[in-house]
Structure 1
Amino acid sequence: MAPKEKCAKYQYVVTSSGPQIVPVPDQESKEEESPADYNAGGYLPIKINDSFKHARYTVVRKLGWGHFSTVWLVKDAHQRRHSALKVVKSAGRYSETARDEIKLLSQVAAANPLHPGRSHIVSFFDSFDHPAPNDLHVCIVFEPLGENLLALIERNKKKGVPPPFVKIISKQILLGLQYLHDECDLVHTDIKPENILISIPDIESHINTELSLSSSPTSRRRRIIGRERHVQIFDSQPLSSPSSRSGSISASASRHNLKMSVPSIISLGQSFTSCSANQPSEPLSPSILSSSSSLVSTPPTSVGLSSPSSSSPSTTPNANPTSTHLPITVKIADLGNATPSRKHYTEDIQTRQYRAPEAILGRKDWGTRVDIWSVACLIFELLTAEYLFDPHGQGELFTKDDDHMAQIMELMGDFPMEAKMDGKYSRELFDHSGSLRYIKTLKPWPLNRVMTEKYLFSSAESAELCAFLEPMLAVDQRDRKEARDVVGHPWLEVKDEEWVGLEDW
């Protein structure tokens, strides 16, 4: 007797050819890309063992996907190593964005290989155009990396990531941004957990081990609604971090190594000087700070940078000399939205929860400090597993922007009239007196009290954290610190006693 098939579910939808009854998509594949995007100008259909660039790259499995592209683990026959292949949608706007990203990646790679922040920024191995039957797809080849910080946050959402690990991560992000800002004159514009990826030591060995232990790639044939054809959509299998199965970051890192290595890396960049200065996603009342926040689940991508191997002169800090002893190493990914600090490609920047006040106001004079605001929000989220700001609109009463600005002012206080004005949306948010136009009653809750009252930090712990974060959260961008100003802050120094109880974490 044949096995009993699961009953199919159907739904009523309106398509370009009229109303239709169609199957409900499998719940298991709801986190993958939509079949509807496999159309003219959309994704390239890819299968395991497909090859690219004259058979140089062979597809091993799918790592993830995003609005603009799918990302695949491939084997490079020339270099005899694995890489991450990003295949961009073929529509002109996506191809143009990808070519801009390639130019920026080239600029970043060439700026200053000796800077300690360079090893914490994504770089690429190769790029090429892949011909399809009706169009071309821009392809970018990266070093494969592990999971992003969102996955780390979600694994630690009960208590947050332990502070010593947050400090190490924060230091590396700030070093990377110092490199982007000062050496490349670039603003990332979309710093968030999804765009910070964990580097895997001895990546090739890790991939080979994982491939030998993991199940074969799975896929489903999905019908494209309104069309008489199907597409094969593979399930994403992002590379696990070496520790993700156990819940720790580095099972092999001893407390002795941590104590020996952290002070060395903390000192990097303190005296270093320089000579220069995807479409964001949107996440009922004002004063949301006190409510619990939900985390956005975004599929991870895998891209990265190989550390420079050149030696450094005595006048320049060596790039991450102690990184092999650190329990975690991270890299800033996704430069697709990066822009020169003074010649902006767009004024519509940053994912909602990490958006700086000047971006909310629609000002055009923003620069590198918008990234610093985002980093502060990210650090808070690592420590608490909750958003610092998570605004919501309430019908016709007020918008997300109104609530966002209200939450900022409740946390950080009022700010000068001059900083409130001159933005595209300033008059919509503030009245002639500088008060919020639609939210009249604010409930001040300063960061120091938030940390002690809600998250039970001690007074000393809260004071030290606030001394670090508050200058990064200055509402008036003119008063906000740059990466170079805070990369050597005392809060980033990990004390011996902070490792107590974390030996098996």
Structure 2
Amino acid sequence: MLRLLTSARDALLRCPGPASRSMSTITVTRAAASLPSNLDLTEFHPVATGELFSGRYEALRNLGRGRHSTVWLVRDIRTQKEAAMKVMVASLTDNKRGPDELGILTTLRDGNPQSAGKHHVCQMLDSFVHDGPNGRHICLVLELLGMSVLDLYRSFSGSLPLILVQRVAKHLLRGLQYVHECGVIHTDIKGDNILMTGAGFAEGQSSVDLDITDLFSATYKLTDFGSANRITRQWAADIQPVALRSPEVLIGAPWDTKTDVWNFGCLIYEFARGAVLFDPSWQNEETGMDYTQTHLSQMAGLLGDFPKSFLAKGEKTKVYFDESGHLLRPGAYGITLGDLLARGGHPADELPPAIDFLSRALAIDPEDRWSAAQLLNHPWMENTVEM
């Protein structure tokens, strides 16, 4: 344990920050939120500071804005506790064909209370509809969490310490196992959708100093189910962050909970390596290849040929592959997962189990890809640091 914590402390010293920072802390700064372009502001409720919602939630300040909602820090005047409140655009209130974040959060809230994974999913505390000048808006009151793993990752000069990546991975897998057991596919797993409890930003700081105890005692939770689909009701076509998109999505094959696992594997690699696994925009102008062609060629170059039985399920397969299952536009991306991960600066003896773990999560064919439950039982998930 001492060696592991020493390794984590050494990694902290590689982080950029004030010279006066102590030897065992890291200064983490909240990234400025970027607003999506072409927003129809008439869809949003004009929340005012001090406005009271449902007779009990006082709006204190804005926490962020997305394409379909604004998020506010609120105080429950009955309990004096703070929470996060998501105010949805009016068009989603009676939408029966698109996102159903309220329904999905209700399912996750009412699921098995004995599941360890439930504690790794952001919980909804209350919900109601608020009438405003721009229409009726669904409001979701959520537990107030702290900083994101993306903020933490950006505070390091490169990769996260491997033992910290293990902890984040284990907590995220617990959450995913629970979500999947509830019949839900998240479809949008990324660093800013994984938040920490017990460390920073709950009081609204723009930056916070965290020490090793903070990092290894925090609980990491999966948040933002605005893009989630039910296994039995898939409303979305283009899912997942582009660089984290799964093979089945790219070729137009059916997708299920295993597509979350691919997304998870790419993200965990990024935290461990300090760089993205796939870059669909790489040299597009030079090669004349589009994003999907580049993405598929990188997958094949790293992970091997696409199984014919898998390609047979894709509606777009013939656009990218010939009848023999070979890419019509192959790329020169020949390297192994181990070679790439070795560039993360981690001790060589720590890499083999991590490489094997990621290879299970990143199997091209979803039928060969491990589930969240299986990955939780992988040897790399043993002996994660708990403080």
Taking structure 2 as the reference length, the TM-score comes to: 0.84
Alignment of 1:281-430 (within 5 A): 326-364=216-254, 366-392=255-281, 394=284, 397-430=288-321
Deviation at 1:110, TM superposition (A): 1.5
Contact residue 369 and residue 477 of structure 1 kept, 8 A: yes
- What are the ranges of 5 or more consecutive residues in structure 1 without an aligned counterpart? 1-28, 211-237, 254-325
Contact residue 32 and residue 65 of structure 1 kept, 8 A: yes
- What are the ranges of 5 or more consecutive residues in structure 2 without an aligned counterpart? 1-31
Deviation at 1:417, TM superposition (A): 1.3
Distance 1:437 1:181, change over 3 A: same
Give the secondary-structure state (helix, strand or coil) at the position aligned to 1:246. strand
Distance 1:130 1:405, change over 3 A: same
Q: Which amino acid aligns with 1:47?
A: A
Selected match of 1:470 from 359, 369, 387: 359
Q: Which amino acid aligns with 1:359?
A: V
Alignment partner of 1:246 is 2:244? no
Contact residue 68 and residue 94 of structure 1 kept, 8 A: no
Aligned length: 355
Deviation at 1:94, TM superposition (A): 8.4
- Render the CA deviation track for 1:377-425: whole Å, top value 9, x for unaligned: 1111111221111211725922111111111111111131121233122
Deviation at 1:171, TM superposition (A): 0.5
- Render the CA deviation track for 1:180-213: whole Å, top value 9, x for unaligned: 112x122111111121111126x9xx85xx3xxx
Cα distance between partner residues in 2 of 1:149 and 1:120: 14
Distance 1:35 1:456, change over 3 A: closer
Contact residue 170 and residue 376 of structure 2 kept, 8 A: yes
- Per the alignment, residue 217 of structure 1 pairs with none
Deviation at 1:148, TM superposition (A): 1.5
Alignment of 1:76-475 (within 5 A): 76-92=76-92, 100-156=100-156, 158-182=157-181, 184-200=182-198, 207=202, 210=203, 245-248=208-211, 250-251=213-214, 326-364=216-254, 366-392=255-281, 394=284, 397-439=288-330, 441-452=331-342, 454-475=343-364
Cα distance between partner residues in 1 of 2:81 and 2:245: 38
Alignment partner of 1:43 is 2:41? no
Cα distance between partner residues in 2 of 1:334 and 1:97: 19
Contact residue 118 and residue 176 of structure 1 kept, 8 A: yes
Cα distance between partner residues in 2 of 1:355 and 1:139: 30
Q: Which amino acid aligns with 2:62?
A: K
Distance 1:134 1:30, change over 3 A: closer
- Per the alignment, residue 7 of structure 2 pairs with none
Cα distance between partner residues in 2 of 1:98 and 1:145: 27
Distance 1:48 1:389, change over 3 A: same
- Per the alignment, residue 277 of structure 1 pairs with none
Give the secondary-structure state (helix, strand or coil) at the position aligned to 1:479. coil
Contact residue 198 and residue 330 of structure 1 kept, 8 A: yes
Contact residue 95 and residue 138 of structure 1 kept, 8 A: no
Distance 1:34 1:390, change over 3 A: closer
Contact residue 167 and residue 494 of structure 1 kept, 8 A: no
Q: Which amino acid aligns with 1:465?
A: A
Contact residue 48 and residue 60 of structure 1 kept, 8 A: yes
Give the secondary-structure state (helix, strand or coil) at the position aligned to 1:139. strand
Deviation at 1:75, TM superposition (A): 0.8
Deviation at 1:73, TM superposition (A): 0.3
Distance 1:430 1:338, change over 3 A: same
Deviation at 1:149, TM superposition (A): 1.4
Contact residue 98 and residue 235 of structure 2 kept, 8 A: no
Cα distance between partner residues in 2 of 1:249 and 1:38: 42
Distance 1:401 1:350, change over 3 A: same
Contact residue 124 and residue 141 of structure 2 kept, 8 A: yes
- Per the alignment, residue 31 of structure 1 pairs with 34
- Per the alignment, residue 312 of structure 1 pairs with none
Deviation at 1:335, TM superposition (A): 1.5
Deviation at 1:102, TM superposition (A): 1.1
Taking structure 1 as the reference length, the TM-score comes to: 0.65
- Per the alignment, residue 223 of structure 1 pairs with none
Deviation at 1:450, TM superposition (A): 1.5
Contact residue 72 and residue 86 of structure 1 kept, 8 A: yes
Deviation at 1:92, TM superposition (A): 4.4
- Per the alignment, residue 29 of structure 2 pairs with none
Q: Which amino acid aligns with 2:298?
A: Q
Cα distance between partner residues in 1 of 2:67 and 2:187: 17
Distance 1:495 1:425, change over 3 A: closer
C-alpha RMSD of the superposition = 2.8
Contact residue 472 and residue 481 of structure 1 kept, 8 A: yes
Cα distance between partner residues in 1 of 2:276 and 2:361: 16
- Per the alignment, residue 9 of structure 1 pairs with none
